[in-house]
Structure 1
Amino acid sequence: MKICIIAEGSYPYITGGVSSWIHSLITQMSEHEFIIYAIGAESKQKGKFKYKLPPNVVEVKETFLDAYLDEEVRWGSRFRLSAEERNTLQALIGGEGDLNWDRVFALLRSDKFVNVSDFLASKNYFDQLEQLCRFKYTHVPFTEMFWTVRSMILPLLLAIRSDVPQADIYHSVSTGYAGVIGALGKFLYGSPLLLTEHGIYSREREEEIIKADWVKGYFKDLWIEYFYRLSDCIYTAADQVVTLFGRNREIEIELGCPAEKIRIIPNGVRTSDYEALPSGPEDGKIRIGAVVRIVPIKDIKTMLQSFALVKREVPNAELVIMGPVEEDESYYEECLRMVEALEVQDVVFTGEVQVKEYLGKMDLLLLTSISEGQPLAVLEGMAAGKPFVTTNVGSCKELLNGADDGIGPCGLVAPVMHYEQIAQAIVTLCRNEGLRKDMGRNARERVQRYYKFEDFISEYRKLYATLGGDVRRWPESVLN
């Protein structure tokens, strides 16, 4: 079969997490061909892959959300739209009424629009936005509303107009833009659509927008509603939705995904890959490791504040933050300035590294994210037999405490952004070597029992076969 995996803001531009998950899935499914539909934020990422693509990747389709900057605009046009078409666009722009995505796809891909930017500079758009402001945003300056809505939906319209490769199965690995493209593929070719939701995309965007300085207060609800509408698109269109743990399933149902579509397939790791890792020097230091991208959603600033408190209680502690720094360089610079402002010593940013060369040297591991799904970094650390301190996000509490499995805890959980409680949990583990070893053994046992890599691959292999019908092997000569 030919499977189109649609990824937003991850594979193949960024390592770790969802990207590692995609790479593992493709590598293990040599009987299938894969197309990667990669959605990036900025065109400067084009061709800058962080992975050597497996031989069964037959095509990479790149599209970037900033492509609208290159479009020329004709102002003041007027398009002949039916009442149904006007209602469809009004629902897309303002969130009022039922949004029929098939109608959106049919309209925006029709020959009525040579250039979607023209519509957003047209009298039709002006009229519909004026109607929205009159009934819903009476106190918002019209010019601000005009440019805000335009910047919000223009990347979406361009994505819908883009070419979608034909495939036997479309597999989106998030909602959002990736979900819309998956639904578009199904609309164009009638192929089945699978969604795997690692974290809850719409909730993550909501958290970012609430904190964002670039979104004015009266536009925050508009942006948040927009991202929930994107999620609705694939929840409605998907033939099967996969999530990683029970709480995510409950949230998806709350957000409108039909319960009967959802099944749970946990992530998995090979514990054998994490045996006999290099150990650290006997120099009296307590090494605290964090395998994490340096981006706001991972809340590195809370991590640094926590470690500053830890150093007062455990002077021989060292914090080793392992992960790429270039994804959000301004945030990385802010973190460096925070280290200076806190006057805290023994903080090391390694950049992107081979994590297995470091894990064995760590005494405990740390994750302070404000949102997660079922983080592979935690599963990999558990496979290495390391205890954790995590925030109570995603499935972290379930991973560390189990679900009445009789194994025992393999770490401590603290509230999101509560740096004092995070610090106290770290200090507790730093001061008790026996507890660290017990939790490390529990961690390894839980992964071996419930989070096997082989089970994860087997479940997806069966799922692809069910959705796509008979599996057609492709030539061994290509694989070789």
Structure 2
Amino acid sequence: MRIALLTEGGYPYARGEGGAWCDRLVRGLPGHEFEVYALSRSERTEAGGRVELPSQVRRVRSERLWGAPPEDDGSRGRAARRARRHRFLHHYRELVAALAGGDEGSAAGRTDDVIGVSGAGADGYGGARADRFASGLYGLAELAHEDGGLPGLLRSEQALRALEDACRAPGVRPLLATVGVADLLTAAELLERALRPLSAPWYEPDELGAADLCHAVSGGPATLPGLLAKRFFGTPLLVTEYGVRLREALLAHRASGLSAEVRALLTAFHRLLAGESYREAALITPGSTHARRWQERCGADRSRLRTVYPGMEAARFARAGEAAEAAGADAQGGHTDPTLTWVGRPDPAKDLIALLHAFDAIRTAEPGARLRILHVRGGVDSYLAGCRTLAAQLFPDEAQDAVTVGESPVTFEEIGSPGAPQLADAYASGDVVVLSSIVEGFPLSLVEAMFCGRATVSTDVGAVREVIGGTGLVVPPRNPKALADACLALLREPDRAARLGAAARERALELFTVERCVGAFREIYLELVAHCPVRREPLLDTDGVPRPFSEPAEAHVPGRLTPVLPAPTWARRPQPAGFPFPGGDLA
């Protein structure tokens, strides 16, 4: 079948975990044809070039969400331009009125909190506000599809005035009533960039119209092409979120230095877009219960949620995992000193400061303990430098005697250095792996440590507890004493640490492998195409005869393709009309 893979800031450009996950998915499904529709977030996204693509990727189309907008051709007459501007303003006013929260005196527009649900139940931002947002969004999309792009209109003085009127309308949040011109200009520019997918030349029968399924591998703007493909061609939409895009947007807005007024408008846009994409998606696949809770809070129907854990390559950690298993109760595995290991990209969310203070307490109880901080490139250099300074203050170089060169019990090393040439070597270098984060989505580094058979001590954030599942110790975040006590417990009980490490490896091999993830999406693709086939005119050859296999065979097969365990009628969940998917997890 033909799959349109919708990405934002990732595949086929990014070489991080998000891009690697897409690459593993595509390579694991050689029987399908993929077309990648990529949204580029910044110039840096494209600077590194594309990754090597497998043969099943037939085409890559890209659109920039940064830089100057494309120029309008200006070929229309005055009357046509006036009519187009009038139509644009009608739809744009609907959109920005929904963002500002005004609803012509409706209470729904005055009570919702920008981030929370505020008693709205599972529908979140549903009702009149969501309808108004959808009306404006699809109206702008239809205008762009019929009569060219929108960037010039979105940055026009009339659009700015419409945004100002929406912010000063009755019923809006008090925060927006005093918004200044500079903030309006900033918000209008950022909204124009977020709406650029509406103007992409992708909504034609030989583009997204030829796909059997649109798979958005993140939320946010990446879902816009899928929403329009469903509206224009009836193409089913699958939304996968391993990191909740709305949550990422909230954190990014807070860190960007934008004013509170601009943040409120942008957050409302991402919040309403998330709700619309969840309502229109045929199926939503969160990567954890943590992500699932966010989606339910934003209006996702539980019957359309199916958890699929991200698959990771276990083979590159096999040697370390087998060595840990062979060591058995010898948890120190040849280390002369009990060693804690932290592996990751240093930034404030990882809270290495708390880890260093916890290690100070550990050294008091276990003077021979050591801490290795093994980091990858791309972290916040200033934060890493601050951690080095703190470590030097807490742990000055120590020497055994007057002639021995002193060294610190805390070392900072980059992965790829002689001490840790490979990622698996980094995890294998310690007895216990520590995760000290205060913010975390799906903890990939924790899964890697589990593949290596290492016992772990982690803070209770994000999906940590779900991933660990009883095979490691979990402590509250921002609590150095609890972190130190848990680490000491495992360092002093190597037998227990070995048992936990072995159990963690078994759990990771059962739940978090590439094969399990790819198999889950293989089944989901078949189900979606079988239950939600795209009805289109048959493709004809040069003689006017319909081409064979122009539609996937699954579109003609009713029912679920995989067996379902029988259940009594009282235990079955009621399904919404027109949607036959049962709820449940693929994990």
For normalisation by structure 2, the TM-score amounts to 0.69
The alignment status of 1:163 with 2:163, answered yes or no, reads: no
1:321 aligns with 374
Q: After alignment, is 27-36 or 417-426 more displaced? A: 417-426
Task: Give the letter aligned to residue 95 of structure 2.
Answer: L
Q: Contact conserved, 1:17 with 1:375, CA < 8 A, in 2?
A: no
> Which SS does the other structure have where 1:389 is aligned?
strand
Q: Contact conserved, 1:390 with 1:396, CA < 8 A, in 2?
A: yes
Q: CA deviation at 1:115?
A: 4.8
Shift in alpha-carbon separation, 1:271–1:85, aligned structure 2, 3 A: closer
* Match 2:277 to one of 228, 234, 237: 234
* Match 1:181 to one of 216, 220, 225: 225
Aligned residue runs from structure 1 range 262-341, under 5 A: 262-269=305-312, 273-277=316-320, 282=334, 284-295=336-347, 297-299=349-351, 302-303=354-355, 306-307=358-359, 310=362, 314=366, 316-325=369-378, 331-341=380-390
Counterpart-to-counterpart distance in 1, 2:157 and 2:201: 24
Counterpart-to-counterpart distance in 1, 2:189 and 2:362: 44
Counterpart-to-counterpart distance in 2, 1:240 and 1:55: 27
Shift in alpha-carbon separation, 1:390–1:37, aligned structure 2, 3 A: farther
Q: CA deviation at 1:335?
A: 2.1
Counterpart-to-counterpart distance in 2, 1:7 and 1:381: 28
Q: CA deviation at 1:193?
A: 0.8
Task: Give the letter aligned to residue 458 of structure 2.
Answer: T
> Which SS does the other structure have where 1:80 is aligned?
helix
Task: Give the letter aligned to residue 321 of structure 1.
Answer: L
Shift in alpha-carbon separation, 1:324–1:180, aligned structure 2, 3 A: farther
2:19 aligns with 19
Q: Contact conserved, 1:269 with 1:451, CA < 8 A, in 2?
A: yes
Task: Give the letter aligned to residue 88 of structure 1.
Answer: E
- Between structure 1 and structure 2, the one with the greater Rg is 2
* Match 2:156 to one of 121, 146, 157: 121
Shift in alpha-carbon separation, 1:385–1:126, aligned structure 2, 3 A: same
Structure 2: gaps (5+ residues): 75-80, 103-128, 325-331, 396-407, 531-550, 555-587
Instruction: Write the deviation string for residues 39-84 of structure 1: whole angstroms up to 9, x where unpaired.
Output: 332123315157433232223333332233776999xx97213785
Q: CA deviation at 1:419?
A: 4.2
Counterpart-to-counterpart distance in 2, 1:69 and 1:302: 44
Task: Give the letter aligned to residue 65 of structure 1.
Answer: L
Q: Contact conserved, 1:288 with 1:363, CA < 8 A, in 2?
A: yes
Instruction: Write the deviation string for residues 210-247 of structure 1: whole angstroms up to 9, x where unpaired.
Output: 4x260233444333222212212311221111123344
The alignment status of 1:348 with 2:412, answered yes or no, reads: yes
Q: CA deviation at 1:27?
A: 1.5
2:564 aligns with none
Counterpart-to-counterpart distance in 2, 1:295 and 1:186: 39
Aligned residue runs from structure 1 range 290-439, under 5 A: 290-295=342-347, 297-299=349-351, 302-303=354-355, 306-307=358-359, 310=362, 314=366, 316-325=369-378, 331-343=380-392, 345=408, 346-351=410-415, 354-400=422-468, 402=469, 409-439=470-500
Task: Give the letter aligned to residue 318 of structure 1.
Answer: L
2:242 aligns with 198
Q: Contact conserved, 2:24 with 2:514, CA < 8 A, in 1?
A: no
Shift in alpha-carbon separation, 1:332–1:64, aligned structure 2, 3 A: farther
Counterpart-to-counterpart distance in 1, 2:42 and 2:347: 16
Q: After alignment, is 257-266 or 201-210 more displaced? A: 201-210
Task: Give the letter aligned to residue 347 of structure 1.
Answer: T
Shift in alpha-carbon separation, 1:121–1:169, aligned structure 2, 3 A: same
The alignment status of 1:103 with 2:171, answered yes or no, reads: no
Q: CA deviation at 1:30?
A: 1.0
Shift in alpha-carbon separation, 1:114–1:192, aligned structure 2, 3 A: closer
Counterpart-to-counterpart distance in 1, 2:60 and 2:182: 37
Q: CA deviation at 1:313?
A: 5.0
Task: Give the letter aligned to residue 465 of structure 1.
Answer: L
2:112 aligns with none
Counterpart-to-counterpart distance in 1, 2:481 and 2:14: 31
> Which SS does the other structure have where 2:58 is aligned?
strand
Q: Contact conserved, 1:192 with 1:467, CA < 8 A, in 2?
A: yes
> Which SS does the other structure have where 1:232 is aligned?
helix
Instruction: Write the deviation string for residues 420-447 of structure 1: whole angstroms up to 9, x where unpaired.
Output: 4334433433333222212101112223
* Match 2:304 to one of 261, 266, 272: 261
Shift in alpha-carbon separation, 1:58–1:427, aligned structure 2, 3 A: farther
Task: Give the letter aligned to residue 197 of structure 1.
Answer: E
Q: CA deviation at 1:287?
A: 3.9
1:225 aligns with 268
Q: CA deviation at 1:374?
A: 3.4
Q: Contact conserved, 2:343 with 2:445, CA < 8 A, in 1?
A: yes
> Which SS does the other structure have where 1:53 is aligned?
coil
Aligned residue runs from structure 1 range 31-42, under 5 A: 31-42=31-42
Counterpart-to-counterpart distance in 2, 1:373 and 1:463: 23
Q: CA RMSD in A?
A: 3.4
Q: After alignment, is 387-396 or 14-23 more displaced? A: 14-23
Task: Give the letter aligned to residue 344 of structure 2.
Answer: V
> Which SS does the other structure have where 2:461 is aligned?
coil
Q: CA deviation at 1:282?
A: 4.0
Counterpart-to-counterpart distance in 2, 1:52 and 1:294: 28
Q: After alignment, is 151-160 or 267-276 more displaced? A: 267-276
Q: CA deviation at 1:15?
A: 4.0
Counterpart-to-counterpart distance in 2, 1:308 and 1:9: 40
Counterpart-to-counterpart distance in 2, 1:370 and 1:50: 33
Structure 1: gaps (5+ residues): 403-408, 474-480
Shift in alpha-carbon separation, 1:148–1:4, aligned structure 2, 3 A: same
Task: Give the letter aligned to residue 154 of structure 1.
Answer: E
For normalisation by structure 1, the TM-score amounts to 0.82
The alignment status of 1:88 with 2:120, answered yes or no, reads: no
* Match 2:185 to one of 140, 147, 162: 147
Shift in alpha-carbon separation, 1:342–1:438, aligned structure 2, 3 A: same
Give the aligned length: 458
Q: CA deviation at 1:382?
A: 1.1
1:464 aligns with 525
> Which SS does the other structure have where 2:465 is aligned?
helix
The alignment status of 1:249 with 2:292, answered yes or no, reads: yes
1:478 aligns with none
